Amino acid sequence: MSIKGRIKKWLTHYQQWQRNPFRHIPLPSDEKHHCNCCETDFLGNFCPRCGQKTGEKHNTWASLRSGFLDMWGLGTRSLPYTLWQLIWRPGYLIGDYISGRRQISFPPFKMLVFVSLFVFILSNWVNPEPSTESFDKNYFIVEYLEVFFSKHYDWATMMFFLFFIIPTYFIFRYAPRCSHHTIPDGFFIQVFMCTKCVIYFLLINIADALFDVKDSHEYWINIFTFLLLIIMVYRVYKQLFGYGFVATLWRVLAVVMGAIFTLLTLLSFDSIIASLLQMNGKWLSILLCRFIPFMLSTVLIIYASYRISRHTVKK
């Protein structure tokens, strides 16, 4: 076989693995099995008395491999194996989880906490940064957040993913795969996205510690990070919802724009409250020049994308 044919065959197997990494062969329902552990005859894949799996007779190479992986915590539903799937098949993994196949994934909220804690400790060890944050007592809550997130863009990005939930719910409502997903499903989608984002930021911090590029090329690093996040969201949403290249791309851009305008709307609303509390007359100008335009832009982007997606769905 030629090199081109081998590469094509490998890509085919890789794509099949992405869509379904676990090939469970169903056993005939009328086939009887004998349990070597408790001497019970039964139907199905597991013994109803002791729970031993069907076919546990002789050890094979597969038994050796699974035993070795389980010893290091790398078996099915483990944290390392779920992270491995999140890197190579993120959209399909999320689709499996929200569709009910949850035994193949480590619990997402627990995974986000563990990974964030590990990355926080490792990042401070690899690239320590002294805390130089100082706040004025007259700061309002948004100004506190602006100062904090300007120096911790990784946490800012994770918080920003929360604003993807509502745009994703409407814009991808009629997708070929995972259609009619719910808002709670959207929370789990963004939890997986945040975990993947944390891994990316760890790699960026390690690269910065090795090559020291953040200080000298901070502007380009921010541009690269933003493009990397767009590519990450595009790849996840394409696998998760099943649209083509162009259909996924413009919907992802619509989700990002809807999230940005939602965030700007909330910041404008907070500025109005701050002006009223401080007896400042700027609240009316903020309302007319920022809050209302941002709110209308958010509604327009989400509604237009929702109508286009609903119109183009196959009957």
Mean pLDDT of 15-44: 73
Q: What is the DSSP letter of 74?
A: -
Does residue 308 register a pLDDT over 50? yes
Instruction: Note whether 118 and 128 are within 8 A (CB).
Output: no
Instruction: Note whether 133 and 148 are within 8 A (CB).
Output: yes
For the chain, the structural domain boundaries read 76-311
Query: For residue range 54-90, what is the model confidence (pLDDT) as tens digits?
Result: 766 666 766 676 666 665 555 556 788 888 889 899 9
Nearest to 105 by CA among 115, 113, 96: 96
Query: Per-residue DSSP letters for 196-211?
Result: HHHHHHHHHHHHHHHH
* Residue carrying structure tokens 């490998």: 10
Label residue 166 by pLDDT band (50, 70, 90): very high
Instruction: Note whether 32 and 54 are within 8 A (CB).
Output: no
Range of weakest confidence among 31-40, 80-89, 117-126: 117-126
What tokens does 210 get?
């090795």
Tell me what the pLDDT averaged over the chain comes to.
79
Nearest to 220 by CA among 208, 210, 233: 208
Instruction: Note whether 116 and 198 are within 8 A (CB).
Output: yes
Report the C-alpha gap between 227 and 216 in whole angstroms. 19
Query: For residue range 123-159, what is the model confidence (pLDDT) as tens digits?
Result: 667 665 544 445 444 445 555 555 555 566 667 777 8
Mean pLDDT of 202-226: 70
How many CA atoms, within 13 angstroms, populate the side-chain half-sphere of residue 5?
2
pLDDT at position 139 is 47
Query: For residue range 94-115, what is the model confidence (pLDDT) as tens digits?
Result: 998 998 888 778 889 988 888 8
